[in-house]
Amino acid sequence: MVVVVVLVVVVLVVVVVVVVVVVLVVLVDGAIVVEGAEVVVSATPVVGEAIEVTSGSDGARAPAPSLAGIDAVQALASSAVAAATAVIVVTRRAYTTADRSALVAPTGGGRQRLRRVAEGRGTTGRAVDRARIEGVIAGWRCAVCGATVDIATVAPWRCPRADADDPYHVLHLVEQGVEPGVEPDVEPGAEHGADDDPEPGGGGSTLAELVASGSDIGDVDPFVLYGPRLAWWAFARANGMTAAACETLTSDVVGDFRITPFERSELLSNEIGANVWVKDETGNVAGSHKARHLASILLHLRAAELLGLTAHRPPLAIASCGNAALAAATLARRLEWPLDVYVPTWMDDTVGDRLEGLGARVQRCERRPDDPPGDPAMLRFREARDAGAIPFTVQGPENALCLDGGRTIGWELADQAAIVGVDLDRVVIQVGGGAFAACMGAGLGPGVRLDTVQAEGCAPLAAAWERATMVDRPARYWPHVMRPWHAPHSVADGILDDETYDWIADMDVMAESGGVPVVAAESDIVRAHELATAAGYRVSPTGAAGLAGVLTVADDLRAHENVAVVMSGVAR
Ligand SMILES: Cc1ncc(COP(=O)(O)O)c(C=O)c1O
Ligand SMILES: [Zn+2]
């Protein structure tokens, strides 16, 4: 009898527990289930949402959302295991709207679109968000601490609050009329009047109009066409340079940039089973997209010099032994501006010879006995920067101006797709340091889904994305969210950055557009390179890595889907 009563009580308790858990899971959006000491989110977080822990089933409360929160969740999970209560209830908070708006600055149109999407009215749409991409830049705002920097500021490379003890800051662009606290000193163009000093280039004709009037797309310089949308241009205008002088300066310094080809690849489309569109950057200046990022830094420097805002030329500095270094050397040479390239001792001599041939000073960096952990080339670069060298690099936290010119590739892709009447469903972009994907997303706007790709042997962004879903405003907890990848390896050696420096912007563009980080198997990276080569592109494994991401998600693509990749660097 006693045994029966005990059994009934046990069954009742189990039933009650199960019912409570089911009700909680149904009432809230998801639950964190404990398996051993691991915390697993039982329902996949909806893209762009953060998870806030509000209570534990044992009555414990996790502290307010913070990254101390991730650790708290883990502690809570362990105690839940100990107490044999295995569910922690979580609720989700919209991340794309309130939290993200603190980090990004879409235009009014972009904001309304996001609001409509957040409210369930309308979709993210497919058309490129014209309002967003036609914005004029008003200034800079740190995505971490919120510090603002006026557009008229000379050398706005880093957040004013970044220092050796707290380098975790990054300035992002703010479009005019969007962000309170970032007011342009002078309305670009206002000091001259619209009629006597009209904006040429992008302020005049669009790419579609140029093509309609018979211009060859391959003759158009994107830095002229989109000039007035660029931050360096707004800087020069705010300091009194005329629009005509901005255009002349553009032609003098980057007059050889051209809109790069965009086409549907028959071979790749057949192979993937969807429409694969390719933007081919392999013929761009210095053989990759990297020169676009550096061009806006150089234009800013030259404008400051011509405006009499700088008195001397400190050396440029970069830590790279790949495409970025070649692009830096190619551009620096144009102005005969001294450049130090900090490289590892194991760098291939042919690259060193090439850099020296372009006039760069190659600094081979041995590890010193007293060096802290990390890449010695990066350590020497930072020392040079701290001693006054100009960071001439494609890493947003080191030089925010690299996030300016890189957007030209996104604008081009959007315009070229529109000209051939294609609604892009998604773009899949390879990520190393992350500036490329950030700029592609900024250029395309939130209407085109942007997925990022990393190799399975180096995927710090995907790992950080998982951590970021667990906290409120992950940017505040940078070193906890973006942790260096141990022993990166892949044949795609241009995307082996152990940290994704521009992770905040990358997550923003993914969250806003409904994209996700994709981790490609090494076999897909190898196959993508073979396929791209067979399709006629003289591209490196890194340059074809976006296609590897498409291979990874191929089963999820619909047959009529239009997916774009960028063959971003030439095979050397
Ligand atoms: C050819 C090529 N594609 C893509 C990338 C990735 O760009 P990012 O480092 O800005 O993410 C690189 C970086 O070196 C590259 O060389
Ligand atoms: Zn800051």
Q: How far is the CA of 517 from the centre of ligand 2 (A)?
A: 25
CA distances in angstroms from 544 to 260, 422, 510, 520, listed in the order given:
16, 22, 20, 12
Q: How far is the CA of 266 from the centre of ligand 2 (A)?
A: 46
- Which of 542, 566, 567, 570 most suits a substitution to test ligand 1, by most atoms within 8 Å of the C-beta? 542
Q: Which ligand is nearest to the CA of 328?
A: 1
Q: How far is the CA of 169 from the centre of ligand 2 (A)?
A: 4
137-142 vs 171-175, strand pairing mode? antiparallel
Q: How far is the CA of 145 from the centre of ligand 2 (A)?
A: 4
User: What residue ranges line ligand 1, CB within 6 angstroms?
Assistant: 288, 322-324, 394, 430-437, 494-495, 540, 542-543, 568-569
Spatial distance between the Cα atoms of 141 and 515, rounded to a whole number of angstroms: 24
The predicted model gives 239-256 an average pLDDT of: 97
DSSP bridge pairs for 275 = 562
- Nearest-CA neighbor of 410 among 244, 568, 194? 568
Please provide residue 498's backbone torsions phi and psi, each rounded to the nearest 5 degrees.
-75, -20
In the predicted model, is pLDDT for residue 100 greater than 70?
Answer: no
Q: How far is the CA of 474 from the centre of ligand 2 (A)?
A: 14
Residue whose pair of structure tokens reads 């970032």 in the numeric block: 182
- Which of 282, 289, 429, 458 most suits a substitution to test ligand 1, by most atoms within 8 Å of the C-beta? 289
- 8-state DSSP, 315: P
What pLDDT, on the 0 to 100 scale, is given for residue 158? 98
Q: Which ligand is nearest to the CA of 284?
A: 1
Number of H helices and number of E strands within the chain? 22, 17
Q: Which ligand is nearest to the CA of 144?
A: 2
Q: How far is the CA of 291 from the centre of ligand 1 (A)?
A: 11
Residue whose pair of structure tokens reads 């609001």 in the numeric block: 115
CA distances in angstroms from 72 to 61, 77, 547, listed in the order given:
9, 8, 39
Residue pLDDT, tens place only, 481-536:
999 999 999 999 999 999 999 999 999 999 999 999 999 999 999 999 999 999 99
- Nearest-CA neighbor of 571 among 323, 277, 261? 323
Contact at 8 Å (CB) between 151 and 304? no
Spatial distance between the Cα atoms of 98 and 1, rounded to a whole number of angstroms: 59
- Nearest-CA neighbor of 435 among 412, 403, 466, 462? 403
Residue pLDDT, tens place only, 422-464:
999 999 999 999 999 999 999 999 999 999 999 999 999 999 9
148-150 vs 390-391, strand pairing mode? unpaired
Which of 27-41, 219-233, 441-455, 519-533 bottoms out in mean pLDDT, i.e. has the lowest?
27-41
Spatial distance between the Cα atoms of 562 and 572, rounded to a whole number of angstroms: 30
Spatial distance between the Cα atoms of 236 and 156, rounded to a whole number of angstroms: 13
Average pLDDT, the chain: 81
**Secondary structure of residue 133 in the 3-state scheme:** helix
Lookup: tokens for 490? 């892949």
- Nearest-CA neighbor of 80 among 68, 70, 72, 92? 72
Q: What beta strand segments (E) does 498-537 contain?
A: 517-520
In the predicted model, is pLDDT for residue 419 greater than 90?
Answer: yes
DSSP string, 262-277: EEE-HHHHHHHTSEEE
In the predicted model, is pLDDT for residue 32 greater than 50?
Answer: no
**Of all protein residues, whose CA lies closest to atom 13 belonging to ligand 1?**
494
Spatial distance between the Cα atoms of 509 and 465, rounded to a whole number of angstroms: 12
Residues 6+ apart with CB under 8 A from 225: 201, 202, 205, 207, 210, 259
Spatial distance between the Cα atoms of 527 and 548, rounded to a whole number of angstroms: 7
Q: How far is the CA of 503 from the centre of ligand 2 (A)?
A: 15
Indicate yes or no: pTM above 0.75: yes
Q: Which ligand is nearest to the CA of 409?
A: 1
Q: Which ligand is nearest to the CA of 529?
A: 1
- Which of 495, 497, 529, 572 most suits a substitution to test ligand 1, by most atoms within 8 Å of the C-beta? 495
Q: Which atom of ligand 1 is nearest to the CA of 429?
A: 4
503-513 helix and 460-468 helix, angle to the nearest 10 degrees: 70
Residue pLDDT, tens place only, 301-323:
999 999 999 999 999 999 999 99
Spatial distance between the Cα atoms of 260 and 284, rounded to a whole number of angstroms: 7
Spatial distance between the Cα atoms of 399 and 171, rounded to a whole number of angstroms: 8
Q: How far is the CA of 280 from the centre of ligand 1 (A)?
A: 14
Residues 6+ apart with CB under 8 A from 220: 207, 210, 258, 259
In the predicted model, is pLDDT for residue 82 greater than 60?
Answer: no
Spatial distance between the Cα atoms of 20 and 27, rounded to a whole number of angstroms: 10
